[in-house]
Amino acid sequence: MNEKLHLTGFSKTEIAEFVGQIGEPKYRAKQIFKGLHARRLLSFEEMTDLPKAFRKKLNETATASTLKVESRYVSTDGTRRFLMKTHDNFPVETVFIPTENRDTICFSSQSGCPLKCDFCLTAKLGLLRNLTAGEIVEQIIIVLNDVYGVSAETPHGTNLVAMGAGEPFLNYENLIKALGIMADEEGLFIVPNRVTVSTAGIVPKIYEFAKLEKRPNLAISLSAPSDELRDKLMPINKRWNIEQLLPAAKEFEKTLRRGERFTFEYVLLGGINDSDAHARDLANLLDEYELQKVKINLIAHNPAEPLEYHPPGFEQVERFKTILKSKGVSAYVRRPRGRDIYAACGQLAAMKG
Ligand code: SF4
């Protein structure tokens, strides 16, 4: 059991308070914050700008790292999946997805997930526990260090997506705190418009999120154009159905600035939600709720045992997209990444292989 304070999840103000409590001058807080986030150091020992005695004192009550990388898998497409463990032995998964001009890190907000989306392997784990703000931030630090080296400049901008294991809006406070820490210009400096939070539809939190002054982007996982089908695929729909979800999406839409859009994710499951009629119903639904600044990300299901679903054929995915476009809806097909290492959407379930 790790009972030390995990300073990686402390805001600048909290670090200053902590430093004050142990009788050290305030400027030490800034050094620690920079050491943790700008230099991405995972131990106080490496913070050689701090006096040795102070580092020793820090180690007595605090820590800069609580996650342990258990395994690391590299896909033929360059995607990397990290399977980590918390100090109390719960799995945490993070995925690094390189693209030409930017990097994307897909992080987890919970260990496991309490929601039971039928097409998702993570759902099989159930909720193990919420991750702390420190555990969220540390995932990003570990990945950046693995890819570029400790303290090294990151040549590309880093985009973050809260689309790993867990429902981010069920760990709202820790998520928002972690994102605030990561946005700090004296630290990782990953600003909100480089971040996308994906929800399965926790409606009250969508309203709360929309009101944040510096809010990240939003993606809503929809995956069905009717309650009947969505109830089966995403049981959270029984708690907040489409009639409740889409007005919340509309409210969020109102907060978008010029040129901004938000996303609906639609996982295409062969023979289940991928017909021409489903595509038309989806376009009509957006029309009914007057959602105009939306883009639809179509994600062909990533097969994963023991899930029984299969992806539609390439042609049907294209047809689905074309129907949406013919009705004036922006639609994109998301290219699967890291399927061979169980790193793709819906595949995160602490698989060792
Ligand atoms: S799709 Fe997301 S919200 Fe649904 S069970 Fe999987 S991890 Fe949870």
Contact 200 CB / ligand 1 (< 6 Å): yes
pTM of the shown model: 0.94
- Angle of CA points 294, 295, 300, to nearest 5°: 140
DSSP string spanning 276-298? HHHHHHHHHHHHHTT--SEEEEE
E strand segments, 203-281: 217-221, 262-268
Most informative mutation of 110, 122, 171 for ligand 1 (most atoms within 8 A of CB):
122
Per-residue confidence (pLDDT) for residue 338, from 0 to 100: 74
Quote the ligand 1 centre to 45 CA distance (angstroms): 38
> Other C-beta atoms within 10 Å of 326: how many?
11
> Other C-beta atoms within 10 Å of 277: how many?
9
Per-residue confidence (pLDDT) for residue 1, from 0 to 100: 46
pLDDT digits (tens, 9 = 90+) for 98-141: 988 889 999 999 999 999 999 998 888 999 999 999 999 999 99
Per-residue confidence (pLDDT) for residue 40, from 0 to 100: 98
Residues of the chain with pLDDT under 50: 1
Whether 345 is catalytic: yes
Per-residue confidence (pLDDT) for residue 335, from 0 to 100: 80
pLDDT digits (tens, 9 = 90+) for 49-67: 999 999 999 999 999 999 9
Contact present, 205 and 172 (Cβ < 8 Å): yes
Q: Which residue has the tokens 């990561």?
A: 182
DSSP assignment letter at 299: E
Per-residue confidence (pLDDT) for residue 337, from 0 to 100: 76
Which candidate in 93, 138, 167, 253 is catalytic? Answer: 93
Q: State the Cα–Cα distance between residues 189 and 192, nearest whole angstrom.
A: 9
Contact 175 CB / ligand 1 (< 6 Å): no
Per-residue confidence (pLDDT) for residue 234, from 0 to 100: 97
Quote the ligand 1 centre to 191 CA distance (angstroms): 25
Contact 113 CB / ligand 1 (< 6 Å): yes
